[in-house]
Amino acid sequence: NAGVTQTPKFQVLKTGQSMTLQCAQDMNHEYMSWYRQDPGMGLRLIHYSVGAGITDQGEVPNGYNVSRSTTEDFPLRLLSAAPSQTSVYFCASTARGEAFFGQGTRLTVV
């Protein structure tokens, strides 16, 4: 019963470094999404995918890239980290009108 698995759980980056946040789901869901959670702002959609090979931008896509080469995986890439990207990141997969969330990655950019 893995559901949605995110790695790592915690990460500290220096400004300008790059990294990839991993997300994998084992429920064979077509839809996957990335959100960031900031204090006082709820969760905001970064990018989403409606199936392998198809991605689109959400509300706050700048500074982030995604790809979806398989149904299971939906990695989020930060090409050049900035302090404004300090946040908690959640991946979700969706089916039948319900979103299932991972446990999150807490990212700090110094």
Partner 1 sequence: GNSVTQMEGPVTLSEEAFLTINCTYTATGYPSLFWYVQYPGEGLQLLLKATKADDKGSNKGFEATYRKETTSFHLEKGSVQVSDSAVYFCALSRTGTASKLTFGTGTRLQVTL
Q: Which is nearer to partner 1, 12 or 54 (CB)?
A: 54
Assess 90 for contact with partner 1 (CB under 8 A): yes
Q: Which is nearer to partner 1, 13 or 46 (CB)?
A: 46
Q: Which is nearer to partner 1, 17 or 50 (CB)?
A: 50
CA angle 71, 82, 7 (to 5 degrees): 35
Assess 89 for contact with partner 1 (CB under 8 A): no
Cβ proximity of 23 and 74 under 8 Å: yes
Strand-strand pairing, 105-109 and 10-13: parallel
Cβ proximity of 105 and 8 under 8 Å: yes
Among 17, 45, 63, 67, binds partner 1 (CB under 8 A): 45
Closest CA relative to residue 69, chosen from 32, 44, 95: 32
Assess 102 for contact with partner 1 (CB under 8 A): yes
List interacting residues with partner 1 (CB under 8 A). 4, 31-33, 35, 40-45, 48, 50, 58, 90, 92, 94, 97-104
